């Protein structure tokens, strides 16, 4: 197929929500356009990663004909594109023949015609066309595709414990070199002293804890296994196994609201229409009023429309249509209910989908819209079918209570009454999707029965207040609903005459084919022709229920010393209400709201106030937050991090990530971010520890996070129990592995110093190989099973978590304490072995090495707080392995001497001198300065 046309595409960008391009057709193709879908058509390659501009998509068989448009239909909305790496980015043209309003296969006229290409025409990379076929043109390839440009490369997260261990390892390297240099210096730098330095470096290499990394990584694997196998937090997944210790050191928790603190299960709770408000308990009245309105309409239609009988019947029941009552200046209640419910049933992006079992479910990108459409179904106006160009509704008069939605839909299809009086058919003329910038969505529909054209729009009150007609109740009622924790949407309408719509369509088309500032021009046209003096129909309040045990979880985390920030896209009032209901704000705590700041002086005044009132909860909107970050970044973060809780409203995903990075860089504390949606991914990746919740918004956050949970309340167990244990165990394990390497090197240094500073190895071959493996590894590694308190006590007393945040379990102080212990024990064992010297050098090796192994086993036993069965087994099995190995290593052990009584008492004396004083010191410390956890046991 040949087509003389030009396609323009904008420069590559990351934004998948916008695309600017045009298709200019210069001359018609030789064959009819219908042949594009036959054997001569070219379909998309199945395995490519290029961007295509598609020029034809076959229409779905269920799509009704569109008499006013010649656009080639996309697949039916129920066959949505799904993620699959088998399709390329593609651009779909809506119309190839704009000159003919009836036939999509009519030959194109000779004059050039320009058709706009927008984001709605695009098939982005990694999607597959679920139905129909397409012919396309390559737009972007390789690194220019949106998928590749949006592929971020997050930094590999390294735990603070690993960084601390790395610093200690550097100190140990310096100690190794200093000790080698010291022995050579004490020998007077005689002979080839530089060679001796390298020999001593090799002899003291055990000081450098090479096995420490192996032990810590194995410990992390154990911690991850314990987390994922915990029956109280089912379906928890550890995606980054290098960070379990970080869970024990969290000081700041940044949480999303919707879907994280709340269930993201929306339910319509309130409808307000200015003079009357319907609550959840009075929705039956809405059903009744709606049924009365449709009965009146049906009666009027049967009475001849404008005839006296129909009109009189309508007047008698006070149920005339909205168009008739508008002329009176005041409409009755049933017609007002009819208008607002009908508008809510039309103004959305919801698609009814038939499941395999025959049931119908609603699908949409926003759960708010699904909740509202389900509510219109519950009061009698049911969405039964939606295509790209049409919407079909089922009226209350045709919805028997005994029939299910599926049965109603099937009966409609079987009886072929699509245009009967019991259904309402509307043609979709234009659709204006919701964006985070516009905070509203709109739709232009034509009633197929009456031909009336309506522009319907719903959105946030902050933008709709300026668009709707002047009123005295909207602002007050939105505030009231927000204080109840409801998400508010304002519903408005504007009737359009055919001439007005034609003018708008022409101007909108001209704006849509601009190559520069297209979006601004299109928004200006919509604002000029449509978004003026809209009729305010009503205000909806949708409830998002709290997740289970959110209040208890937040209270426990606050008691554990964790400062909680809530970052949400909701309005200030709604976020404040949720903060109070979740106990994020303590009882009687002052809430300081900061919103709509414009100047630096206003920001400075607010910061000065907060500086003098650090016990309050700060609630700040996104605009003011950005102003603070731009003008007084350090001052703001310094004050905000001192507050017990902060609520940031109207936050963009970028702002969430910026806040997380700023807290990390300023405080140097551990920050945990938790969220459930794709807008939380950047925040999760910017945190030290990212936790994703598998929720209604998919698994984007879960897959990008380090830990995946199913409920916010699982954070309690994850942090206060698993995180605490992981950090304590790894800290103890790291110090003991360092001690194990130091003590044998100290023994080597003492031996070399006594024997004229000769670089001669004290232990060789199998003894050195077995020391760090079969002789000590199992008992030392069993420390990963130790715990200082029970699980119930750890959750009952969250204050125990505060001690770990200070990092005192593994610090320079504890490191030098273990260094002194190793120095004392290594020197004591070696000196006592030489004091008890026999006639043969072999006996020194046997006595000192046996004392060393027994000393390590005893030290492990002294460090254990709560014994585990595997700890006992590892101690006994290791001792047995060592005793048996003596018989197989005659070059190191003289069995005659080993089995003699003098060997036993000499070893016992050496071990007692090396280990007993430490036991006494530990006993005294437990009496004088006991640990906080020991007071609870």
Q: How far apart are CA 117 and CA 390, in angstroms?
A: 22
C-alpha distances in Å from residue 878, one per residue of 770, 785, 874: 11, 17, 6
Contact 836, 910 (CB under 8 A): yes
Do strands 113-117 and 138-141 pair parallel, antiparallel, or not at all (unpaired)? unpaired
Sheet holding 670-675, edge to edge: 237-238, 707-709, 689-693, 670-675, 250-255, 563-567, 645-649, 617-621, 591-594
Residue 531 tokens read as: 């978004």
CA atoms within 13 A on the CB side of 420: 12
Among residues 373, 523, 370, the alpha carbon closest in space to that of 439 is found at 523
Q: How far apart are CA 827 and CA 914, in angstroms?
A: 9
256 catalytic per annotation: yes
Annotated catalytic residue within 38, 63, 162, 256: 256
What values do phi and psi take at 881, rounded to 5?
Answer: -60, -40
Contact 808, 814 (CB under 8 A): yes
Coil, helix or strand at residue 463: helix
Q: Is 929 exposed, middle or buried (0-12, 13-18, 19+ CB in 10 A)?
A: exposed
| First and final C-alpha spacing in the chain | 83
Ordered DSSP codes for 819-859: HHHHHHHHHHHHHHHHHT--SSHHHHHHHHHHHHHHHHHHH
Q: How many CB atoms sit inside 10 A of residue 280's CB? A: 12
What does the radius of gyration of the chain's CA atoms come to, in whole angstroms?
37
Beta strands in 562-688 (DSSP E): 563-567, 591-594, 617-621, 645-649, 670-675
Q: How far apart are CA 557 and CA 802, in angstroms?
A: 10
Backbone angle region of 395, left / alpha / beta, with phi > 0 → left and psi within -120 to 50 → alpha: beta
Coil, helix or strand at residue 236: coil
Please give the positions annotated as active site. Answer: 256
């Amino acid at each position: 197929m040949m087509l003389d046309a030009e396609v323009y595409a904008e420069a590559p960008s990351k934004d998948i929500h916008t695309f600017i391009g045009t298709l200019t057709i210069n001359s018609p193709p030789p064959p009819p356009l219908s042949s594009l879908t036959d054997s001569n058509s070219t379909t998309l390659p199945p395995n490519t990663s290029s961007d295509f501009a598609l020029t034809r998509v076959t229409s779905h068989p269920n799509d009704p004909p569109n008499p006013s448009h010649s656009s080639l239909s996309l697949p039916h909305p129920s066959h949505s594109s799904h993620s699959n790496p088998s399709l390329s980015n593609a651009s779909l043209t809506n119309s190839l023949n704009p000159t003919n309003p009836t036939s999509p296969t009519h030959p194109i006229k000779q004059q050039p015609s320009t058709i706009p290409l927008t984001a709605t025409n695009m098939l982005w990379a990694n999607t597959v066309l679920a139905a129909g076929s397409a012919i396309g043109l390559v737009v972007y390839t390789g690194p220019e595709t949106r998928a590749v440009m949006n592929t971020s490369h997050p930094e590999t997260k390294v735990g603070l414990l690993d960084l601390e261990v790395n610093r200690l390892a550097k100190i140990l390297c310096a100690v190794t070199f200093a000790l080698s240099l010291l022995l050579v210096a004490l020998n007077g730098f005689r002979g080839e002293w530089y060679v001796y330095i390298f020999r001593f470096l090799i002899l003291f290499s055990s000081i450098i804890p090479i096995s420490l990394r192996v032990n810590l990584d194995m410990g992390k694997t154990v911690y991850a296994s314990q987390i994922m196998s915990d029956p109280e937090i089912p379906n928890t997944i550890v995606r980054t196994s290098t960070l379990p210790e970080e869970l024990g050191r969290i000081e700041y928790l940044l949480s999303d609201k919707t879907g994280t603190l709340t269930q993201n299960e929306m339910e319509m709770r309130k409808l307000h229409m200015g003079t009357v408000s319907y609550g959840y308990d009075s929705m039956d009245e809405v059903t009744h009023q709606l049924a009365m309105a449709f009965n009146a309409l049906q009666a009027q239609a049967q009475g001849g429309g404008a005839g006296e009988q129909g009109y009189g019947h309508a007047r008698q029941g006070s149920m005339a249509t909205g168009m008739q009552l508008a002329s009176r200046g005041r409409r009755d209640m049933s017609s007002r209910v009819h208008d607002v419910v009908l508008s809510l049933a039309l103004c959305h992006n919801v698609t009814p989908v038939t499941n395999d079992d025959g049931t119908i479910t609603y699908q949409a990108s926003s759960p708010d819209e699904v909740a509202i459409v389900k509510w219109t179904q519950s009061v009698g106006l049911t969405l039964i079918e939606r295509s790209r160009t049409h919407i079909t509704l089922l009226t209350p008069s045709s919805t028997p209570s005994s029939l299910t939605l599926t049965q109603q839909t099937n009966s409609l299809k079987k009886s072929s009454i699509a245009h009967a009086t019991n259904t309402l058919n509307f043609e979709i003329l234009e659709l204006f999707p919701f964006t985070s910038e516009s905070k509203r969505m709109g739709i232009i529909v034509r009633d197929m029965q009456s031909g009336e054209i309506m522009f319907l729009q719903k959105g946030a009150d902050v933008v709709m207040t300026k668009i709707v007609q002047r009123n005295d109740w909207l602002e007050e009622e939105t505030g009231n609903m927000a204080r109840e924790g409801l998400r508010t949407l304002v519903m408005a309408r504007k009737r359009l005459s055919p001439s007005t719509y034609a003018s708008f369509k022409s101007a909108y088309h001209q704006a849509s084919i601009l190559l520069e500032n297209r979006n601004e021009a299109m928004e200006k046209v919509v604002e000029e022709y449509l978004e003026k003096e809209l009729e305010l129909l009503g205000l909806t309040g949708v409830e998002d229920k709290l997740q289970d045990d959110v209040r208890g979880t937040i209270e426990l985390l606050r008691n554990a010393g964790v400062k909680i920030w809530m970052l949400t896209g909701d309005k200030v009032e709604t976020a404040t209400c949720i903060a109070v209901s979740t106990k994020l704000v303590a009882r009687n705590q002052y809430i300081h709201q900061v919103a709509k700041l414009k100047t630096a002086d206003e920001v400075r005044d607010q910061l000065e106030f907060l500086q003098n009132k650090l016990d309050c909860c700060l609630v700040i909107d996104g605009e003011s937050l950005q102003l603070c970050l731009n003008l007084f970044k350090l001052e703001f973060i310094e004050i905000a991090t001192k507050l017990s809780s902060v609520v940031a409203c109207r936050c963009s995903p970028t702002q969430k990530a910026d806040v997380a990075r700023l807290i990390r860089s300023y405080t140097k504390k551990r920050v945990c971010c938790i969220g459930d949606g794709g807008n939380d991914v950047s925040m999760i990746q910017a945190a030290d520890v990212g936790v994703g919740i598998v929720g209604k918004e998919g698994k984007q956050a879960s897959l990008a996070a380090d830990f995946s949970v199913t409920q916010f309340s699982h954070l309690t167990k994850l942090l206060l129990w698993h995180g605490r244990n992981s950090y304590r165990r790894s800290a103890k394990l790291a110090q003991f592995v360092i001690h194990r390497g130091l003590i044998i090197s100290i023994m080597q240094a003492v031996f070399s110093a006594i024997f004229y500073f000769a670089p001669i190895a004290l232990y060789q071959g199998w003894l050195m190989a077995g020391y760090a493996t079969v002789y000590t590894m199992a008992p030392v590694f069993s420390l990963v099973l130790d715990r200082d308190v029970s699980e119930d006590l750890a959750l009952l007393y969250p204050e125990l978590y505060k001690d770990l945040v200070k990092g005192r379990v593994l610090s320079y102080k504890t490191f030098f304490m273990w260094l002194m212990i190793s120095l004392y024990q290594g020197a004591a064992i070696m000196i006592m072995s030489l004091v008890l010297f026999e006639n043969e050098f072999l006996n020194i090796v046997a006595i000192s090495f046996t004392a060393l192994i027994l000393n390590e086993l005893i030290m492990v036993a002294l460090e254990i707080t709560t014994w585990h069965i595997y700890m006992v087994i590892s101690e006994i099995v290791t001792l047995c392995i060592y005793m048996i190995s003596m018989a197989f290593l005659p070059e190191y052990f003289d069995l005659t001497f080993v089995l003699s009584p003098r060997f036993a008492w000499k070893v016992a004396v050496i071990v007692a001198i090396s280990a007993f004083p430490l036991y006494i010191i530990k006993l005294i410390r437990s009496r004088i300065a006991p640990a906080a956890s020991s007071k609870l046991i």
